[in-house]
Amino acid sequence: MNAATTKSWLSYILRSVLLGIVVAALVIWAMPLLEAWQAKRQQPDEAFSFATAVNRAAPAVVNIYSMSEQRGSYYNRRNNSVLRLGSGVIMDNVGHIITAAHVVANVSSVQIALQDGRQTSAQVIGIDNVTDLAVLRVELDNLPVIPQNDELRTRVGDVVLAIGNPLNLGQTITQGIVSATGGRMGVINSHADLLQMDAVINEGASGGALVNSQGYLVGINNAQFRGPAGQGVEGIYFAVPYTLAKGIMRTLIEEGEVVRGYLGIQTSDSVPNSRNYQRPGIFLTGVDEGSPAAQAGLQPNDYIVDIAGEPITSAADGLALISNTRPGVELAVTFFRGDEELTTTVTIGKLPN
């Protein structure tokens, strides 16, 4: 074997040894990672949980205890104090709390209990009976604030959690799914669309938080649907949407009341079969005596198709337009009376509280 051949073999052996050392080092380095991956594969999947959402939102949901006076009876002339239960949601770090209006309406005192054990009295800032919302304020530091995201939009099918204090059992979470995000007007004497879901809301949970699976506030819990005889219907509950509740809160804080436009009409989803009623509009089943609608000449069975030059896309949108118009503003209204198309001008009034 000549010198050149010997040198070539030595070079080959050296490269092989170095390659073996590199491969061995890589195997030694990767072995712990491979063992960890194998161990993870052998472990059962983690249980699906909403614990993160609850931990983020639940501290900001408070228990509300309000006292009202009940007049005495014929046999007992003394007034009785009645305890009313409810829940509320801390909306900012200066102490503003949203709750349901029926929790704190016509009460003599309001007490708040936080989940960290603190208790204090609360001041009623304002009440809006139309949306059944009220704003309270407490004087406390280091308040937990409910997570909020103005960009979120609740969709049918979203999973939601209702957090409140039902029957004074302590904070309780129920879970459900959103079945409607609009078109539920009138459930709480409101012109506003409501969220419908099947997360249970029992007495004492009204005014609590409805949050999504990430813990963000999507609504203020309000009511269970009741049938014609007043009986509760299982699986149908309502909440005021977050964006509406936040707007009402801001108005009550800044102005003390929510002023809405008033036309004075009753409407129905049942529309007579007529070619003039095939387009979207508002069918009038009644007109309040002395109301702006009556003064403008509107009558029952009229069908409004245009307000202020804007076609009515739905009865809900038309009523919302009226509600959002300041009292005293004049609006042109186009409507059908039978086969005749007419136009009148209405002066919007102030919706009675």
Q: What is the per-residue pLDDT for 267?
A: 85
pLDDT tier at 190, thresholds 50, 70, 90: very low
Half-sphere exposure of 339 (CA within 13 A, CB side): 1
pLDDT, tens only, 37-61:
666 555 555 677 899 999 999 999 9
Question: What's the rounded Cα separation, in Å, for the pair 200 and 179?
Answer: 13
- Read off the pLDDT of each residue in 306-334 and give the average, rounded to a whole number: 88
pLDDT, tens only, 64-84:
999 876 665 555 556 666 688
pTM exceeds cut of 0.85: no
- Give the residue from 42, 31, 101, 104 showing the smallest Cα distance to 67: 104
Q: What is the per-residue pLDDT for 53?
A: 94
CA distances, 126 to each of 87, 93, 100, 319 (Å): 16, 18, 11, 24
CA distances, 278 to each of 85, 271, 303 (Å): 47, 9, 11
Helix (H) or strand (E) segment spanning residue 319: helix 315-323
- Written as six digits, the tokens of 116 are 């960290």
The C-alpha angle with vertex 41 and arms to 37 and 47, in degrees rounded to 5, equals 125
Q: What is the per-residue pLDDT for 34?
A: 67
The residues with which 342 forms a beta bridge, in sequence order, are 335
Query: Per-residue pLDDT for 225 more than 80?
Result: no
- Give the residue from 178, 165, 188 showing the smallest Cα distance to 58: 165
What backbone phi and psi angles, to 5 degrees, belong to 234?
A: -65, 140
Question: What's the rounded Cα separation, in Å, for the pair 112 and 88?
Answer: 9
CA 175 to chain centre: 14
pLDDT, tens only, 256-278:
888 889 999 988 767 777 776 77
- Written as six digits, the tokens of 3 are 């010198």
% of residues, the chain, pLDDT over 90: 50
- Give the residue from 109, 98, 107 showing the smallest Cα distance to 133: 98
Question: What's the rounded Cα separation, in Å, for the pair 197 and 155?
Answer: 11
Question: What's the rounded Cα separation, in Å, for the pair 332 and 318?
Answer: 13
Name which residue leads in pLDDT, 118 or 232: 118
Q: What is the per-residue pLDDT for 30?
A: 66
- Give the residue from 214, 206, 265, 266 showing the smallest Cα distance to 238: 206
pLDDT, tens only, 91-101:
999 999 999 99
Q: What is the per-residue pLDDT for 192?
A: 56
One-character DSSP codes across 59-109: GGEEEEEEEEEE---SS--S-EEEEEEEEEEE-STT-EEEEEHHHHTT-SE
- Give the residue from 23, 83, 97 showing the smallest Cα distance to 253: 97
Q: What is the per-residue pLDDT for 80?
A: 63
- Which residues are known to be catalytic? 102, 132, 206
